[in-house]
Amino acid sequence: MDMAFTLEESEIKNQVRKFVKKDLLPVYREVDKKGDLFGDVKEKFQSMNLLKIYFPEEYGGVGGTFVGLIIALKELGYGSIIPTTLLTGNSLVAWSLYNYGSDFLKTTYIPDLLSLKIPAGIAFTESDTGSDPKQLKTVAKKRAGGWLLNGSKKFITNSGTGGYLMLFALTDEGVTAFWVNSKHKGYKVGKRESFIHCGPLDNGELYLDDYFVPEDHVIGQVNKGFEILVRAEAIGKTGFCAGYVGLAERALDLAVKYANTRTHRGKPIGRKFQMIQVKLARMTTRVAAMNSYLYQVAAMVDQGKNFVPDAARLKLLVAEDVKEITADAMEIHGAYALSDEYEIGALFKAGIGVQVIMGASDIQRVIIANDILAKGRYDTE
Ligand SMILES: Cc1cc2nc3c(=O)[nH]c(=O)nc-3n(C[C@H](O)[C@H](O)[C@H](O)COP(=O)(O)OP(=O)(O)OC[C@H]3O[C@@H](n4cnc5c(N)ncnc54)[C@H](O)[C@@H]3O)c2cc1C
């Protein structure tokens, strides 16, 4: 069941679903292996201009809803987690520039971020921490006309040459967000990572050696970057979760198909064994709950409500449920789950990503607990 989508939102859903079925699913294995779309599929994907859905016309968007963008990201996730990952980085950076950037940054970069002409990402994590701003070691020192950055970052998506980053560094009294170009002097690309849950993303280390950031490339106010980080990550978490809800739906569909076709003494295992039915019931309920909450959080963004605590709850819910759903789907597939010929093993592996990226589950628990303790009671906005 869908929540009440507008005509435009339903159209987005139909269009992306058609693309996934006709173009993405036939080549998803190659897409996952390469960590990128390619050939005609890439061209078609880019021509759909999905990132433009949410942003205003003055910056190259079409002025639609965040719900519309989330619908697109979820539908894509059914085919592969790669396109959702590509779009989420650019969307959270475009959102940050739109809400906190100078006019120069908005007009110069948002259109290119939306058309995917430039890849972008967020650079927070360092070798000592991916969770605690107080442990950051990258520093920015004030100089005439701007800031001088020194330090390093780790696990940063789109940090190879060609990417733009919203990078967080320590300033006198807090953390500040800076707009950084990986092609500029003082930026060095470090070791690239290889992951078990997806293809070869452009992800790895970067080094800043007297990297100069002009004043109009500071995002938001100096020392107030933590608020930007928290809100941008909440946007990113919602987009990222959308892709993983799509992945969970596919895991469920594959499990149902297997339970309906694999037989035991002439009867489908789904009909014969209650243990299989228990799993399918649990998986279906979890998928339904994730869908509802996903669109509820997306609607909060459109309504201008405080979506940060809900994005953390959504992230925790999706991280836990994707783990359970893909594990149940593996069990239903028996030995065939481990065969490369079957798709479920790849989904099980890809599902691990949502437990860590954009903040580990325990960090979501910390955010959620602090929020409810401060409010004193449960109350949806
Ligand atoms: C594929 C991939 C892509 C990524 N892309 C990016 C990116 O583009 N940009 C970026 O900045 N980062 C990126 N990351 C990094 C990712 O966001 C961090 O790895 C993640 O936030 C966890 O950080 P950490 O491993 O340093 O954990 P740590 O901060 O070292 O934490 C280790 C463990 O301790 C727990 N812990 C830490 N602090 C607390 C606390 N206060 N209370 C309770 N428990 C705590 C954590 O939950 C975790 O389980 C990426 C990671 C991966 C795997």
Q: Please tell me whether residues 91 and 190 are part of one structural domain.
A: no
pLDDT at 1 over 80: no
Mean pLDDT for all residues in the chain = 95
Strands of the chain, DSSP E: 120-123, 139-143, 146-157, 164-171, 174-181, 187-192, 203-214, 218-219, 263-264, 267-268
The ipTM estimated for the assembled molecules is 0.96
Which CATH number do you get for residue 40? 1.10.540.10
Give me the mean pLDDT over the 238-244 stretch: 97
Residue finishing a domain among 224, 252, 277 = 224
Q: Please tell me whether residues 135 and 200 are part of one structural domain.
A: yes
Q: Please tell me whether residues 347 and 256 are part of one structural domain.
A: yes
Binding site membership of 359 for ligand 1 (Cβ less than 6 Å): yes
Binding site membership of 130 for ligand 1 (Cβ less than 6 Å): yes
132 Cα to the center of ligand 1, angstroms:
9
pLDDT digits (tens, 9 = 90+) for 325-369: 999 999 999 999 999 999 999 999 999 999 999 999 999 999 999
Give me the mean pLDDT over the 212-235 stretch: 97
Q: Please tell me whether residues 268 and 232 are part of one structural domain.
A: yes
pLDDT at 380 over 70: no
Q: Please tell me whether residues 157 and 37 are part of one structural domain.
A: no
Closest atom of ligand 1 to 361 CA is: 47
Question: Biggest alpha carbon distance in the chain?
Answer: 80
Residue finishing a domain among 224, 241, 276 = 224
Q: Please tell me whether residues 194 and 320 are part of one structural domain.
A: no
2: confidence class by pLDDT, cuts 50, 70, 90:
low
pLDDT digits (tens, 9 = 90+) for 19-45: 999 999 999 999 988 888 999 999 999
Judged by phi (left if over 0) then psi (alpha if -120 to 50, else beta), residue 207 lies in: beta
Q: Please tell me whether residues 281 and 220 are part of one structural domain.
A: no
142 Cα to the center of ligand 1, angstroms:
29
Cα 132 to Cα 151: distance, rounded to the nearest angstrom? 16
Does residue 1 form part of some domain? no
123 Cα to the center of ligand 1, angstroms:
12
Instruction: Name beta bridge partners: 178.
Output: 167, 218
Residue finishing a domain among 93, 114, 135 = 114
Cα 226 to Cα 151: distance, rounded to the nearest angstrom? 18
Binding site membership of 366 for ligand 1 (Cβ less than 6 Å): yes
Cα 99 to Cα 1: distance, rounded to the nearest angstrom? 33
Does residue 381 form part of some domain? no
204 Cα to the center of ligand 1, angstroms:
14
Cβ–Cβ < 8 Å for 118, 162: yes
User: Which residue, judged by its Cα, is nearest atom 39 of ligand 1?
Assistant: 363
Beta-carbon contacts of residue 158 (< 8 Å; ≥ 6 apart): 89, 119, 120, 121, 164, 165, 202, 203
Q: Please tell me whether residues 180 and 200 are part of one structural domain.
A: yes
Q: What is the pLDDT of residue 123?
A: 97
Does residue 232 form part of some domain? yes
One-letter amino acid for residue 205 of the chain: E
Name the domain count of the chain: 3
pLDDT digits (tens, 9 = 90+) for 86-105: 899 999 999 999 999 999 99
Q: What is the DSSP string of 67-99?
A: HHHHHHHHHHHHH-HHHHHHHHHHHHHHHHHHH
One-letter amino acid for residue 36 of the chain: D
Give the closest residue to 103 by CA, choosing from 49, 151, 58, 150. 58
Does residue 182 form part of some domain? yes
pLDDT digits (tens, 9 = 90+) for 253-283: 999 999 999 999 999 999 999 999 999 999 9
79 Cα to the center of ligand 1, angstroms:
26
Q: Please tell me whether residues 207 and 332 are part of one structural domain.
A: no
CA distances from 129 to 114, 153, 359 (A): 30, 10, 11
| Domain membership of residue 166 as a residue range | 120-224
Which CATH number do you get for residue 347? 1.20.140.10
Binding site membership of 35 for ligand 1 (Cβ less than 6 Å): no
